[in-house]
Amino acid sequence: MTKTKETKLARSKQLNQAIAFTIFRLLSYFIVAILFIILTFIIMKGVKVVNWNFITQMPEEGMTKGGIYPAIIGTLCLVAGSMIFAFPIGVLAAIYMNEYVKDGIAKRIIKQMTNNLAGIPSIVFGLFGMSLFVNKLHFGDSILAGSLTLGLLALPVVIRTTEEALKAVDNTFRQASLGLGATKWQTIRKVVLPISFPNIITGLILSIGRVSGETAPILFTVAAYFLPKLPTSIFDQAMALPYHLYVISTSGTNIEESRPIAYGTAMVLIIIVLIANLLANGLRKYFGNKVKMN
Amino acid sequence: MYKIESKNVDFFYGTSQALKNINIAIMQNTVTALIGPSGCGKSTYLRLFNRMNDLIGNTKLNGQILIDGDDIYTKGVNVDSLRKNVGMVFQKPNPFPKTIFENVAYGLRVNGVTDKKIIEERVETSIKQVVLWDEVKDKLKKSAFELSGGQQQRLCIARALAIQPSVILMDEPTSALDPISTSKVEELIYELKTKYTIVIVTHNMQQAGRVSDTTAFFYLGELVEYDNTKTIFTNPKIERTQNYITGRFG
């Protein structure tokens, strides 16, 4: 090639790259902008309503005034309940799948089933939960039924993220451990789990985020429109933030008047998820440092 | 009696045969080098002695692998005990993401030692054996990752020594290290052979010449020649060995 042809080619390659990177940058900003717009919108509308009273008081006057305290408590109970069910089972299942099962047909089938489970629409989970937990097992509309249903929803997320976390652990550590006479389970407990723990916690965050905002699974398993008292046992019904938001926006006693409360509810829900994310990120960093030290 | 023996050993990955009729007998307290071009089966062979190949699916072994006269592949052999007796050092240093102390203590803990004093003593002894004590004695609680590559490898050797094996398998232990660390590890191997039986896979023929008493030359899964190191390197009996040693092919 001649000198001028060379430089022309080089310059056009640079130009193409610059264009491509600019497009990527704009797209990234666009995504951040969307998130920013949603958050700003909700916060601007909700901040008129959200204050300490809002968070700590019961609803009054047909949900047009007062607070959303019972919905907050309900959501926290359901999230905790679903995690108590989904986290241990999910992590153990992932350990079994990744560390024990040999590659083959059985493993592929189980993996496919897990993926299918993740794709089931949440309302179908709700229906299933109602049939099994509420009716067949006679738990009734209850925190127990709701937690189990939400737990099922969260299970594939926990399993998948835990599996990825385990896969990311370099095999050389397992070999070193087994080479010293450790059993498989000792290797998992003392080497693999500590290393993958931060990423497993990330999976926990994702599940919490997923579960706090789910409306369909709690529709027929636990959620109540209005309860004068807080739940006192796992067999009680509960109010919940996403359901509360839905109800007062569509079929409450006075939709227009309740609208500010709806925005306040949305804002509180977002804040809870945000706090969960921050907390889990903090835990992740803490354990990430500890991993090198133990 | 020989410390380690392989008798008529064939090894298959699926249908592909990686080792053909390997017969080697190794005396106690010697260093044996396994040399040969890439892919000739020497690492596969090494891993037969602590049954690390068990971790790979779809493999088949014919023949016998004997340690202290006993076939280690018979039914009922406790693989964990075997690995306590036959330690391994890997090509790339792989200390755990734990403290220096806990790395060396790991083998003791998983094998049921709980006495704090014993653990502390053994850790110190092992680290001293690999001539690392002065460098790390004040930072035992620091992460093993803060050590240099050469130090990490010596730490891995100490980790293997802590559980008092009688055999040590080394799979190209210095190939990832700088020359100074390499020579330190080689000196170490020379010291260790008074107490242990060592089998070392190496790509580096000069290293084999430096550290080993006997050398086995592998080529495409076959054992071409096995003899005293001096003989192999100065007066090999097989032409192919001669060609490899002199660099006609690599």
pLDDT of residue B232: 93
Kindly determine whether residue B96 and residue A191, on different chains, have CB atoms separated by under 8 Å.
yes
pLDDT of residue B67: 96
Q: Is the pLDDT of residue B249 over 60?
A: yes
Per-chain mean pLDDT for chain B: 94
Per the CB < 8 A criterion, the answer to whether A134 and A124 are in contact is no
- Nearest 5°: phi and psi at B49? -75, -20
Kindly determine whether residue B98 and residue A182, on different chains, have CB atoms separated by under 8 Å.
no
Kindly determine whether residue A182 and residue B145, on different chains, have CB atoms separated by under 8 Å.
no
**Spans of all domains in chain B:** 4-245
Q: Is the pLDDT of residue B212 over 60?
A: yes
Kindly determine whether residue B90 and residue A176, on different chains, have CB atoms separated by under 8 Å.
yes
B159 CB within 8 Å of a chain A CB: yes
Chain B residues with beta carbon closer than 8 angstroms to that of A173: 94, 96-97
Kindly determine whether residue B94 and residue A102, on different chains, have CB atoms separated by under 8 Å.
no
pLDDT in tens, B36-86: 998 889 999 999 999 999 988 889 999 999 999 999 999 999 999 999 999
Per the CB < 8 A criterion, the answer to whether A208 and A79 are in contact is yes
pTM higher than 0.90:
no
Residues of A near B (Cβ–Cβ under 8 Å) read 102-103, 170, 172-173, 175-183, 186, 190-191, 194-195, 291-294
Kindly determine whether residue B55 and residue A186, on different chains, have CB atoms separated by under 8 Å.
no
pLDDT in tens, B13-46: 999 999 999 999 999 999 999 999 988 899 999 9
pLDDT of residue A202: 83
What dihedral do alpha carbons A63, A65, A70, A75 form, nearest 10°?
70
Q: Under DSSP, is residue B20 helix (H, G, I), strand (E, B) or coil? A: strand
In the block, tokens 């092992």 appear at: B126
Kindly determine whether residue B159 and residue A191, on different chains, have CB atoms separated by under 8 Å.
no
- Sign of the Cα pseudo-torsion (A58, A61, A66, A67, in order): positive
Chain B residues with beta carbon closer than 8 angstroms to that of A195: 97
Find the CB nearest A181 among B81, B96, B97: B81
Listed in order, strand segments (DSSP E) in A39-182 are: 59-60, 65-66
pLDDT in tens, B160-201: 999 999 999 999 999 999 999 999 999 999 999 999 999 999
B234 Cβ contact partners less than 8 Å away, ≥ 6 residues apart = none
Distance in angstroms (rounded) separating the CA atoms of residues B150 and B75: 39
Chain B residues with beta carbon closer than 8 angstroms to that of A176: 88, 90, 94, 96, 156, 159
Q: What is the DSSP letter of A265?
A: H
Please give the structure tokens belonging to residue A232.
């006192």
pLDDT of residue B153: 96
Spelled out in words, what is the top-level CATH class assigned to the domain B4-245?
alpha beta
**pLDDT by residue for chain A (294 residues), tens digit each?**
678 888 888 889 999 999 999 999 999 999 999 999 999 999 998 888 888 888 888 887 767 777 888 889 999 999 999 999 999 999 999 999 999 988 889 889 998 999 899 899 999 999 999 999 999 998 888 999 999 999 999 999 999 999 999 999 999 999 999 999 999 999 999 999 999 998 898 888 888 888 998 999 998 898 888 888 888 888 889 899 999 888 888 876 777 877 888 899 999 998 888 888 888 788 778 876 665 554
What is the average per-residue pLDDT within B123-144? 95
**Spans of all domains in chain A:** 52-293
Please give the structure tokens belonging to residue A30.
């666009």
Kindly determine whether residue A190 and residue B80, on different chains, have CB atoms separated by under 8 Å.
no
> Under CATH, domain A52-293 is a member of which superfamily?
MetI-like (1.10.3720.10)
| pLDDT over 70 percentage in chain B | 100
B177 CB within 8 Å of a chain A CB: no
